[in-house]
Every structure is written in structure tokens, then in C-alpha cells.
Structure 1
């Protein structure tokens, strides 16, 4: 059994232990209406994220199997992030004005189109797929959360080839469309405002509220490093002596990353019971930056690099619920989707610039370290701003 399988087994055991230990401290939810809301949201959101994550381990290696060069692969990814950057703001306004449920259905159709293009080993067709995928990603990381806040108050690739996970994603997305249409009610942000006013209002909130501004800076810095990591871990963990990197168990590695994210989500529960989010996230971001430094200092020791990647993914697991919670407190509901997509503009721009420069692996991960360390500093400033103050009630002016 190699180090990848050992890591997967160990992380699985840790997740199981954390699951059962944390279950003892979770209070039952007596509110049946709230419980039904949770099930309705999670049913849809898990399908959406599952469709996205199924593709994660195989995008890079699929492009390589089609004979794409490193520069072409970077360009494909760059187009995806550029698409997300350019379309994100307008998609956010669309969600706030015309409905988050409708926007989530649009996400599914866009992603289905993106998955279909993966069957064609032609650069131009794959390029179209990246454009569709970039637009879909903007919706995934804004409209679903906005809907939820408002309503509240691998493995087949080894057998069927690298394109198989994308076909499974299509199945997930079709089921997703049905679930959204049957289970979700529609809700809006400011449905009476036009696009210009929505964008201007969102921009004014970001510029006038330091906490919202800092949230955007931290999110952009952290998630840009996260996306660069997602694109670069495959070539970094592949021994240079291998011609065909299919010898790397991409699905097992990615599954281990997801187990690490789960561990982080369990740790989030423990941390929030003892500390304020603004406080402990400073240390989480520092650990994340240190994790990204390992490929720079000792890239030849693959075991250490792999362990540091697990550490980073644990930080990702803490980051997501932490920032979803803080956005719920600080970001106004009526322009939530618009603001969240504005946050993604610098995020996508950073990733786009890094990819198009085609830096060496060491330089790329050094930039990730710098980005995460800067996010840590910004988080410290946010902590100081919110220290000794109680959180406001979450904004809930949804219609």
C-alpha cells in the first residue's frame, strides 16, 4: 500500500472519529420547518458541489491526455477564470433581480455544456467549455449561498477514462435541475432595482463598509491561492521520471483532499464553540500560508509536500463555513449575490495573471504563500475592527 492509500485510510478514520465525537455535542433541531429547509438546501447544494468536485482531479490530466502543452493548459484555465471574472458581476445582478433559483438552474445548464465539450480533443471546443465553466462557477459560489441565507432568515475514471467523471457530473446536474424546480421557492435580492443601481449600491457598500471590504480582500487572496493550488498539484506530485502521469492515483489524492476539507469543517465547529471567527481565522490563514511554503523549500520530498497539502485543505475546510458565516453577518442581503461576484473579480484576475505568466512551480507556490500571508494580515485588521463588538443580526431583507 503506497503513501496515497495510507493517507486516504488515515484521513478516513480521522473523519469518522470526528463525526461521532462531534455528534454528541450537537443539539437536536426541534423546529421542523427549519429542518425541512436544511434538507431542501443540502439536497440541491450537494448535487451542485458533487458535480463540480467530480471533475476536480481530472481536468488537468484530461487536457494532457489530449496532447495539450503546459502553456495551452494554462491558457485554457486562464480563459475559464477570465470568463468568471467578466461575467460574475452581471450574473450576480441577474440573481438578485430575477431570482436565485432561476440562476441556479442556469448554472446547471452551463455546466452541462461545459462537461459535454470535454469529449472533444480540440482546443477551440475546450476553450468554449472553459468559458461556460467559468460562468457556472460564478453562480455556484454566490447564488446558492444567497438563496440559503435568504431562506433562513473518482473513482470511475480508472475504468472508463478521464472523461467519465464529466459524464457523471452531467447526471448530477440533471438531477439538480429537477430538485431545484421541485423543492426550492424563488427568492430575490432587490428585484425592483435596475442593473446599474444594483452595481452602484454593491460598490458603495464595499467602499463604505471596511468589514465588507476586508472580507472581499481576504476571500480574493485566499481563494486565488486555492485555485492555483487546484491547478498545480497534479504536475507537482507527478514524478518527473514518469511519461504517463496516470500512474498517480488522482481520484484517491483528490478524495484525500476532500477528507481533509471535512476534517476542517469539523474543526470549525469546535473552534466556533471557543473563539470568535474573526479571531481564529488569523491563525488558520497563517497555517495555510506555511503549508504552501513547503513545495518551495523542499519540493523534492513528495511526502512532506503531500502532508502540507492536506494541511492546506484542512484550512480550506475551516475557511468556507467561516466566511459564509461572516458574509451572513456583514453583507447586505439585497445585493448579496452582486457583492459576492464583485469579490470574485480580483480573485479571478490574480489567478489569470499567474497562469498566463507560466511561472515555475516554485515561483507559483511562493506567490500563493505571499497571497495567503497577506490574507492573514487583512484578517488581523478585520479582527481589530470587530473586537469587543457583538455581531449584528444577519441581513435578511429578502423578498
Structure 2
């Protein structure tokens, strides 16, 4: 068994153990009838905003509560799994189809990638407020449409069509990371699930875990499609199928929810201004915005650089192994397992989530990611470097549910969609700016890693100052 195979086996076994423990704990909580008061103060506020939605608040009967929880999970997680599958299926093949099948020059490929991030930045300024005004379910359906357009563009060799496809892809990414979560939070409260054993923080943990599982399966399915059907366009066809299926399920099982409905009609510019004011007027929201920009920006740049970092470490080791190709698919699976491990750890060992404990988790993973990025600059041994990169992925796995929970606590539901999407604007700008300075060689990558490590330290202190002393 090779080094990477052994690590994958250990990570998979660790995930199986933690997920089993988490399942047993959640199952026990619901079976024991852990019914709390109807809703917390924050949830009451959210439900008032969505008072036009017919409530499904369960009674005190344990079976009714379990059935309500099951229905919510099936309604949301099945659609969410298909939505992220559409993203994961085609993601690993974008560069290859541009570079190798369409023979597009490297500089043009970089411009196509940049177009996607720029589109994401621009759409972040209006996507959320449109979702709040016209409906979060509608916005999720638009995500499916945009991704179908993105995938369909891959059948063309015309650069204008390809650039249009990347622009649609940028919009769809903004929607994926904002409106699905906004719909779920409001629906969770409107169904009265605050009374059940299902905690909102646990739902965020499940979302990250599910995304990791789907990523692993999608990677395998994508490679099988390429190998057996020939051509890298087939994973994009599979993505389109996932989008159609997700849209069909949403139309059948999801009901619409909205943000604040004002009697007075407002302009899009006014709604954007409202979202910006909501961010700037609350230091907690601003702190989370800074952290998400830095942490998720570091994540996107890490994804871009990790293969080159491991390849460089292997070449420096010398010997016969230096000439062997890295098992990128196996390494990707290891990273996804590490990310699942972080998510499962968050769910299992932070069972009684509140703002204080979740803030501590967020601070811890931010500090861990900063330390590991610094270590990645110093480590030249391939095995040690791989473990440091796995630790970064594990921190990402715990980061997403923790920041999602904190945002759900401090962002008002009426402006949730617009705030979530606006927070992605600086993230996209940050990634585009750093990518515009790309250079060949280890020195540039090490500078980027050290810069990211320093920014993560800044984010750590921002969170510590603005959230760690906040009242729960």
C-alpha cells in the first residue's frame, strides 16, 4: 500500500468513526424528545419576518417531531447534494478541457478563470437582494439555469461563448454560496424546528460533510465518464442532469420564502445600500465578512497552489520517485476526507453550540490554517507537507459550519440574502487581484502562503475582538 493510499484509509476510518458517533448522538437526542421552548429570541424574529409562510411547527409528540425533522432534511439535503454535485462534477475538468482539448493558450485560460471571479464579484452586489425581494427558491432555480448555461458553453470552441459561460459560472457560484443557505435558515425557523433535537449548527455541519462526500463521489464519477465515454465534456453533461433534477425537486418540495417585504417599492441600489449598511453598522457582521474574505480567499488560492507545492517537494527529494507523477486523484480524495473530518469534529465535539463556543472554533481553525500555511513554506519533505495541507483542509471543514452558524445568529433574516452575497464581493476581488500577480516558481508561491498566513492572523484578532466578548 502506497503512502497516499494508507493515509486515505486512515482518514476514511476516522470519518466513519466520527460520523457514527455523531449519528448516534443526534438520533438519541430526537428519540429522547429533546423538545425545547418554541423558538429562541432570534428565531422568533426570523419567524415574524416570514410570517406569510404557513408554519409546520410540530407538536410535543416525539414521532411528529421526528417526522418534521426527516421531511426538512429530505427536502433540503437532496436538493443541496445535487446542487453541489453539479459544481464538483465539472470543477476538476475545467482547466483540462480548456488547455488540452480546446488547445487554448495559458494566458487566455487565466483570463477565462478571471472572468468567472469578476462575474462573481459583480453579481455579489445584487444577487442577494434580488433573492430577498423576489424569493430565495427562485434564486436557487436561477442557480440551476446559470450552471446549465455554463456547462452547455463547453460544447463550443468559440471564445465568446466560453467567456459567456464563465460569466454565468461566476453568478452561479455566488448563488450557490448564499441563497441556498438563506432559504434553509428561514425554512428551519418557519417549520419550528428549533423545538426539535435538530440544531441549526448541526445542519451546517451536515452541509459541509455532505459536500465532501459528494465531492469524492463526483470525482470518481467524472473520471469514469471521461474514461469510458471519451472526452472531458461528459462530466459537464452530468452536471446539467444534476441541475435539472435539483430544479425539478425544488419545484415539487420547496416553498418560497422572502426577506423583508416593504410596502414601499425600493430600487436595487437602495437594497444594496441597505445590505452594506447592515454590514457596516454591526461590528460582528463586519468581522465575519473580513474573516470569510480572508479564509475563503486563502482556500481558493490553496486549491490553485497545492499541486505545485507537492510536486516541488517531490522533485527536491531526488531519487527515482522524483520522476513519478503524483496521484492527484488520490490526494484530492484525502483532502476531501480531511475536510469531512473537520466537519465531523465540529458536529461531534461542539454539540451545545452557542455564539461563544462557535466563535472559539472559528478562531481555532483560523489560527490552525495560518500556522499550516506558514509550515508549508518551511517544509520540504513531501509527507510532512502533505499532512500540513491535510490540516488546512480539516480546518476548512470546521470553518464552514462555524461561520455559517455565526452568520445565522448575527445577520437579520430580512436582509440575509443580500448581506450574504455582498460579503462575497471582496472575496472575489481579493482572489482576482492575487491571481493577477501570479508568477512561476516556488518563491512566488511561498510569498503568497506567507501573506495568507499573516492575513489569517489578522482575521483571528478581528474575530477575537468583535465576537469573543459578544453576549450569546
Matching of residues 71-90 of structure 1 within 5 Å? 71-90=107-126
Structure 2 unpaired stretches of 5+: 32-61, 190-218, 316-322
Relative to 1, partners in 2 of residues 1:385 and 1:215: Cα closer, same or farther, differing over 3 Å?
same
Summarize the Cα distance change of 1:234–1:71 in structure 2 as closer, same or farther, 3 Å threshold.
Answer: farther
Q: 1:63 to 1:265 in 2, by over 3 A?
A: same
CA displacement 1:73-105 (0-9 Å, x = unmatched): 333222111100011121111101111111111
Does the 8 Å CA contact 1:60/1:234 hold for their aligned counterparts?
Answer: no
Q: How many residues align?
A: 385
The root-mean-square deviation of aligned C-alpha atoms, in Å, is: 2.4
Partner Cα separation in structure 2 for residue 162 and residue 247 of structure 1? 20
Picking from 228, 235, 241, the partner of 1:165 is: 235
Give the aligned partner of residue 177 of structure 2: 141
Output the CA distance in 1 between the equivalents of 2:187 and 2:324.
Answer: 44
Could you say what secondary structure the match of 1:89 adopts?
coil
Return the TM-score normalized by structure 2: 0.76
2:12 pairs with 1:12? yes
Partner of 1:110: 146
Alpha-carbon displacement from aligned partner over 1:171-215 (angstroms, at most 9, x marks no partner): 211111111111100111124352233222222211111111111
Q: 2:259 maps to which residue?
A: 189
Distance in 2 (alpha carbons) for counterparts of 1:246 and 1:350: 35
Shift of residue 140, structure 1, vs aligned partner: 0.3
Deviations 1:311-332 (A, max 9, x none): 1111111111111111111001
Corresponding residue for residue 433 of structure 2: 353
| Distance in 2 of aligned mates of 1:8 and 1:266 | 16
Give the number of the structure whose alpha-carbon radius of gyration is greater. 2
Write the mapping of 1:283-302 to structure 2, written as runs, cut at 5 A.
283-298=364-379, 300-302=380-382
- The answer on whether the counterparts of 1:111 and 1:133 sit within 8 Å (CA) in structure 2 is yes
2:137 paired with 1:101: yes
Counterpart in 1 of 2:337?
259
Q: Whole-Å Cα distance in 2 between the matches of residues 374 and 150 of structure 1?
A: 32
Query: Would you say the 8 A contact 2:361–2:398 is kept in 1?
Result: no
Report the counterpart of residue 99 of structure 2 in structure 1: 64
Pairing 1:119-268 to 2, within 5 Å after superposition = 119-120=155-156, 123-153=159-189, 154-155=219-220, 156-157=222-223, 159=227, 160-192=230-262, 193-194=265-266, 195-238=268-311, 247-268=325-346
Cα drift, residue 246 of structure 1: 11
Q: Report deviation, 1:382.
A: 2.7
Give 1:217 deviation, angstroms: 0.9
Larger deviation, residues 60-69 vs 276-285: 60-69
The verdict on how the C-alpha distance between 1:123 and 1:377 changes in structure 2, with shifts beyond 3 A counting, is farther
Change (3 A) 1:250 1:61: farther
Aligned counterpart for 1:368 among listed residues 429, 435, 452: 452
Q: Distance in 1 between matches of 2:4 and 2:395?
A: 20
After the TM superposition, which residues 39-54 of structure 1 pair with which residues of structure 2 at under 5 Å, given as runs?
Answer: 39-54=74-89
Which residue is 2:193 aligned to? none
CA contact (8 A) 1:78 1:352 kept: yes
Task: Between 306-315 and 66-75, report the one with greater CA deviation.
Answer: 66-75
Q: Which moved more, 1:323-332 or 1:159-168?
A: 159-168
8 Å contact kept, 1:81–1:134: yes
Distance in structure 1 (CA, Å) of the matches to 2:231 and 2:324:
10
Taking structure 1 as reference, are residues 81 and 162 closer, same or farther at Cα in structure 2, changes over 3 Å only? same
Once the two structures are superposed, residues 137-165 of structure 1 have per-residue CA deviations (whole angstroms, 9 ceiling, x without a partner) of: 01001100000011111223261444332
Aligned-partner SS, 1:190:
coil
Displacement after TM superposition at 1:292 (Å): 1.7
Of 386, 392, 405, the match for 1:312: 392
Aligned-pair CA distance for 1:230: 1.9
Q: 1:362 to 1:126 in 2, by over 3 A?
A: farther
> 1:260–1:354: structure 2 CA closer, same or farther, 3 Å change rule?
same
Closer, same or farther in 2 for the Cα pair 1:373/1:68, shift >3 Å? Answer: farther
User: How much has 1:131 moved relative to structure 2?
Assistant: 1.0
Distance 1:204 1:367, change over 3 A: same
Counterpart-to-counterpart distance in 2, 1:125 and 1:306: 38
